[in-house]
Chains A and B, each alone.
Chain A
Amino acid sequence: MSEWQPRILAILCNWCSYAGADLAGVSRMQYPPSIRVVRVPCSGRVDPLFILKSLQSGFDGVLVSGCHPGDCHYISGNYVARRKFAVLKPLLEFIGVEPGRVQFSWISAGEGDRFAKVVTRITEDVRELGPATRLVKKL
């Protein structure tokens, strides 16, 4: 049987990372079939609850990706997103969600190869960690 494939939710900004994923696709770049993409208008739209909810609903990992600093279509959405993640990330780690499971990245519309690499990287990380079982208490 083939290797276990984690399920990772990729929340991508419409203006950059989503187009980056598109470019990776049309350029026929290879990356693991582990991600399920949700397109958002801006990474600033991503509420901490989205991430908690995806972990709770059984995703093994979450990738959130937005525009590089200075490139936001809405001027400052990604800066605000960065602040939100800066609150959520340590909190998740503190309550025992491994750092590799939830990751953030900047990917522009032209960086198809970077998109493929980021997805490969996070898939490897999550595969190493195994399926998410942390939201269940082992009795």
Chain B
Amino acid sequence: MTEATGTPFVLNTDKGLETSLRGFLRQLLESGNIGALILPLKVPSGDSFAWIMLNDAGMIDDAVPFPATMPVQGAKALRSLTRKERGELTVMALMRPCEIRAGIELSKLGQVNTENLILATYDCAGAVPLQSYVSDPAAAEKNFKEFFITGEPDQNAKPICASCTDFSMVDSDIHFGYFGVREKGMLVIPGTVRGTDLLKKMDLQTASGSELLPVWKAEVEKLTEKRSSVRKIVFKKTEKDISGFTGMLNVFENCIGCHNCQSVCPVCYCRLCYFGSEASRTNPEAMVNEAVKRGGISLPPDRIMFHTGRLAHMSLSCVSCGQCTDACPVSIPVADVFSFVAEQTQHTFEYKAGRNDGKPLPLRDFKKSELPGVHKLVKDAEPGGTSHE
């Protein structure tokens, strides 16, 4: 959780959180301080949500600020909007914290331009897996409401949500906080100078939230603690499951090689991927030789290599949003593996993906003196380099 940069305001929640947030957004749009809003709207068939960039305040009534599921990761929507230079208008995006974190991660890669973008988040109670939502939207909405109220993702939420500890205020410009205070109101908390300025310009005639802020904070901390303990348990299990080569093979043995996990990943940033390129094709004769040498090889050969390669490439930027697990047609817990590995690799560089703390991407940065173990040969001391024996 990051700190507020100014005094928060309180929105009246007598008519429910959604109505109060819609009212605020309408006011924001009508004030002319932002040119457009990016929000999820329910698709006409009713079984999913789509990102809509809207300028017509009337459309806000159809918006669902707290969607039950997460079909397209929001960072992908941001990327499609701001990959090139910034536009003239300020756009505000209201998304889950993991989506905003992925957006920030992409901004470090130059794939999202945040200059004219106001990033807004809300306390996220978790999301329902896309598959359960699509198969029964009504039941999924009901399940979502249950943990949306408690703030504790249960067995009906995406598994990764229960162990997510960055579910509240991240490095967003404006945060909407309601955990622990929803009866009394919803806090509008500025998180950056830009957020503070925007709220000032809006000149909200609502009560100050300095009284509710500590209550909300305490609740978020309490939930964070709960989720951290779940995180520890999940990580321990994942570590046991994937360690050693058979572990990795067992977890990924049903992988059908559809590469869905890659295409939905918000931070898998290359436009052309090695996997799927001509270079990744294997030489048939070499494969036969390998089969003879090893007794047997699995075909197609790139299954484990694909996942290991992606772990080596992406885990430094992984925000643990869980889209990969959601997209997996054979229910492999891809996100658990990524989240676990990400924690280790990011820890190596004291880096945390999705933070706007001025730290560059680890692979774009270095220190002259660091990581002393990497270039040591495995056994004994370094062989000497100067004497000619």
Instruction: Name A residues whose Cβ lies closer than 8 Å to a Cβ of B.
Output: 48-49, 52-53, 56-58, 69-70, 76, 79-80, 82-92, 94-97, 99-100, 103-108, 111, 113-114, 117-118, 121-122, 125, 131, 133-137, 139
Inter-subunit contact A121/B379 (CB<8 Å): yes
- Give the one of B248, B362, B375 with max A CB within 10 A: B375
Inter-subunit contact A131/B293 (CB<8 Å): yes
Rounded to whole Å, the gap between the CB of B382 and the closest CB of chain A is 8
Note all chain B residues with C-beta closer than 8 A to A88.
312
Note all chain A residues with C-beta closer than 8 A to B296.
136, 139
User: CA–CA, A88 to B348, complex, Å?
Assistant: 11
Q: Which 7 residue pairs across A and B have the least CB separation, nearest first?
A: A96-B245, A79-B366, A117-B383, A48-B312, A114-B385, A111-B385, A96-B244
User: CA–CA, A54 to B234, complex, Å?
Assistant: 33
- Give the one of B282, B301, B377 with max A CB within 10 A: B377
User: CA–CA, A84 to B295, complex, Å?
Assistant: 33
Question: 1/0 per residue B289-318: CB within 8 Å of A?
Answer: 110011111100110110011011101100
User: CA–CA, A105 to B387, complex, Å?
Assistant: 18
Inter-subunit contact A52/B309 (CB<8 Å): yes
Inter-subunit contact B301/A108 (CB<8 Å): no
User: CA–CA, A76 to B367, complex, Å?
Assistant: 10
Interface residues on B, range: 35 or more
Note all chain A residues with C-beta closer than 8 A to B348.
86-87, 90
Note all chain B residues with C-beta closer than 8 A to A107.
385
Closest to B289 in A: A58
Inter-subunit contact B298/A99 (CB<8 Å): no
Note all chain B residues with C-beta closer than 8 A to A89.
374
Note all chain A residues with C-beta closer than 8 A to B374.
82, 85-86, 89, 104
Main secondary structure of the interface of B (DSSP, over half): loop
Inter-subunit contact B293/A100 (CB<8 Å): no
Instruction: Name B residues whose Cβ lies closer than 8 Å to a Cβ of A.
Output: 242-249, 253, 274, 282, 286, 289-290, 293-298, 301-302, 304-305, 308-309, 311-313, 315-316, 341, 344-345, 348-349, 362-363, 365-371, 374-375, 377-380, 383-389
B248 interface neighbour in A85, A96, A131, Cβ under 8 Å: A96
Inter-subunit contact B246/A70 (CB<8 Å): no
Inter-subunit contact A87/B245 (CB<8 Å): no
- Between A and B, 6 residue pairs with Cβ closer than 8 Å are A48-B309, A83-B366, A90-B345, A100-B379, A136-B297, A136-B298
Closest to B244 in A: A96
User: CA–CA, A99 to B218, complex, Å?
Assistant: 45
B363 interface neighbour in A80, A125, A131, Cβ under 8 Å: A80
Closest to B384 in A: A114
A136 interface neighbour in B248, B295, B369, B388, Cβ under 8 Å: B295
Note all chain A residues with C-beta closer than 8 A to B375.
82, 85, 104-106
Inter-subunit contact A137/B246 (CB<8 Å): yes
Inter-subunit contact B308/A79 (CB<8 Å): no
**With contact pairs A57-B286, A118-B383, A136-B295 given, residues A84 and B363 touching in the complex (Cβ less than 8 Å):** yes
Inter-subunit contact A137/B378 (CB<8 Å): no
Note all chain A residues with C-beta closer than 8 A to B385.
107-108, 111, 113-114
Note all chain A residues with C-beta closer than 8 A to B286.
57-58
Note all chain B residues with C-beta closer than 8 A to A84.
312, 363
Inter-subunit contact B305/A105 (CB<8 Å): no
Inter-subunit contact A48/B313 (CB<8 Å): yes
Inter-subunit contact B245/A95 (CB<8 Å): yes
Inter-subunit contact A91/B308 (CB<8 Å): yes
Inter-subunit contact B305/A53 (CB<8 Å): yes
Note all chain B residues with C-beta closer than 8 A to A114.
383-385
Besides A49-B305, A85-B374, A117-B384, 19 other A-B contacts (C-beta < 8 A): A48-B313, A69-B369, A79-B368, A80-B363, A83-B362, A86-B374, A90-B344, A95-B304, A96-B248, A105-B375, A118-B377, A121-B379, A121-B380, A125-B377, A125-B378, A131-B293, A131-B294, A133-B294, A133-B295
